[in-house]
Chain A
Amino acid sequence: MEGTLLNSGVSLQFYIILATIIFCIGVLGVMIRRNAIIILMCVELMLNAVNLLMVAFSNYHGKGDGQIFVFFIMVVAAAEATVGLSILVLLYRNRKTVDIGLFNKLKD
């Protein structure tokens, strides 16, 4: 692929397109699946696509700041997964399902 070469010999454009495709697969998963746990997993997939892009640009600039930000994104993702999953367990205890179409208790 043509474009700006990173020092590994692969172009930056390759990683931009790869990260875009992984991000779009995550978006697709959020829209297609109705299992709340799988939807949380697809959010993790989107976060990872952003991480990949961040590391690629950090390599391109030759500065470590991008990789430190990836580290902090992982911290936030871990915290988010813990709280999200415990909310889901609580919802499952109440409704006996993980189908997001049935989580409409606030409506009535």
Chain B
Amino acid sequence: MSTVELIATILGGLTVGSALMVVLSTHPVRSVLFLILTFFMISANYIMLNAQFIAIVNIIVYAGAIMVLFLFVLMLLNLSKDTEPKTSVLMKISAAIAGGVLATVLVAALKDAAFETIENADNTIGLVEQLGMLLFDKYVLPFEVSSILFISAMVGAVLLSKKEKQIID
């Protein structure tokens, strides 16, 4: 096993381990912190795959913005270990079996998938310059449309969380 493969295996193990801790830890804040760790690990995997731009954007958008939002809501609602809803043992066992079967089937189906080797694949595509050229040339319309998506999400969030007279109940 070469050094690169060893590093990739260790990174993969750490990614899977921290992802499992997100599901298994009982304290919600601890779950969020482990998810942030998982995102950093996935960013390290992106760097292994020569995708520097995506690695940085992953840290800024996911670990920096989305997870801080989650942490904010958790702390606003003042959730802790005592308020954490309990799942029954039967439910846990059946969920573990279902998840395990899904993983087994997918891994067994994909393990022997054969891919032809692509000669001289360009390994500089992950750099900001290359991706920027592609984003503002071929994908400029989806890029502009995504701003409309953001505006509607922002308006929706403000509208939903605005305090108004409750007519339910």
Contact of A8 with B48 in the complex, beta carbons under 8 Å? yes
Minimum Cβ distance to chain A for residue B12 (Å): 5
Contact of B77 with A92 in the complex, beta carbons under 8 Å? yes
> Given contacts A52-B42, A92-B77, is CB(A31)–CB(B118) below 8 Å?
no
- B residues whose Cβ falls under 8 Å from a Cβ of A: 2, 4-5, 8-9, 12, 15-16, 19-20, 22-23, 28, 31-32, 35, 38-39, 42, 45-46, 48-51, 53-54, 57-58, 61-62, 65-66, 69-70, 73-74, 76-77, 79, 83-87, 91-92, 95-96, 98-100, 102-103, 106-107, 110-111, 113-118, 120-123, 125-126, 130-131, 134-135, 138-139, 142, 146, 149-150, 152-154, 156-157, 160-161, 166, 168-169
Known contacts A10-B5, A37-B79, A90-B160; 16 further A-B pairs (Cβ under 8 A): A10-B4, A17-B110, A20-B106, A21-B103, A32-B91, A33-B23, A48-B38, A55-B49, A58-B51, A59-B49, A59-B126, A77-B62, A79-B150, A82-B153, A89-B76, A97-B83
